[in-house]
Amino acid sequence: MRTTVKLTAAVAAAAALTLGLSACSAPSDTSTSSSSKKGKDADSAAKLVVAASPTPHGDILNFVRDNLAAKAGLKLEVKEFNDYVLPNTATQNGEVDANFFQHKPYLDDFNKKNKTDIVPVVNVEIEPLGLYSKKGKKVADLGSGSTIAVPNDATNEGRALKLLADNGVIKLKDGVGAAAKLSDVADDKGVKFTELEAAQIPSRLDDVDAAVINGNFAISAKLSPAKDAIALEKAEGNPYANFLAVKKGNEKDPRIEKLAKLLNSDEVKKFITEKFSNGAVIPAFGPVAS
């Protein structure tokens, strides 16, 4: 029988919420956001404010701001958030112009649940999901009685379960892939699941036998996917590329078009490849698949 332990990490989540709210409530910069000026009517000289997770999204945007934006005639401001909700709500309500932190399955799920209309603009990079452990050196060390932490949001949890199934830790029902839910686990092989907010999992790695950690949070926790992960998601054919996103109707904002071009430039490709040489982040340029 599968055993599921549900943890909320309330204090940490509250801290993240406070940080996010303070980040998106700056008085004057966002009041002139182009979210109130749609498409090509937006002021191309106005500052573009983009919400992002600190690593690697903030790192990439800061590189663009410091090295490429001025030459392209773009005034770029980066606001960093430490959760997966506030960047979208701030984009929807116009407190920021765009965001860069998520993949398509997550955005589709978010839009459906929150009745928002945020759309992707251009793919930038992929962060392979990894399985990490401080108590075992290989997947075979996990078995009956092992506790494994997985992200508690629908898309990343399904992705985590697929990674575990692909590596023989569990078995999913026939035909179930990355959209898997805990109820789709056909054989848990005695493994116990601990559901946590994705951002909190690295800090709880000592408390479990293993944990599935998103690439950006692995980086922040000083984990090297290439060296430290006992199982790593394949990048080839991966549908989880992270992209620049805006509220629907703002895709043709000239500032967004400039940023999209810069994010898919040779300079950014070189920056990603060199800064994240541990394989934690891989360039994945181009249009977002529907």
pLDDT digits 0-9 by tens, 83-132: 889 999 999 999 999 999 999 989 999 999 999 999 999 999 998 899 99
Query: Which conformational region is residue 284 in: left (phi greater than 0), alpha (psi within -120 to 50 degrees), or beta?
Result: beta
pLDDT band for position 286 (50/70/90)? very high
Count of CB atoms situated within 10 Å of the CB of 221: 15
Q: C-alpha distances in angstroms, 275 versus 35, 56, 87, 163?
A: 32, 9, 24, 26
Q: Six-digit token pair at 35?
A: 């979210």
Instruction: State the average pLDDT for the chain.
Output: 86
**β-strand partners of 80:** 52
Q: Exposed, middle or buried, 230 (CB in 10 Å: 0-12/13-18/19+)?
A: middle
Q: Give the global pTM.
A: 0.70
Joined tokens for residue 277: 């040489």
Please answer whether residues 118 and 247 qualify as being in contact, where contact means their C-beta atoms are separated by less than 8 angstroms. Answer: yes
Q: Which residues contact 54 (CB under 8 A, 6 or more apart)?
A: 80, 82, 216, 220
Render pLDDT for 200-221 as a digit per residue (tens, 0 to 9): 999 999 999 999 999 889 988 9
Q: Is the pLDDT of residue 253 over 90?
A: yes
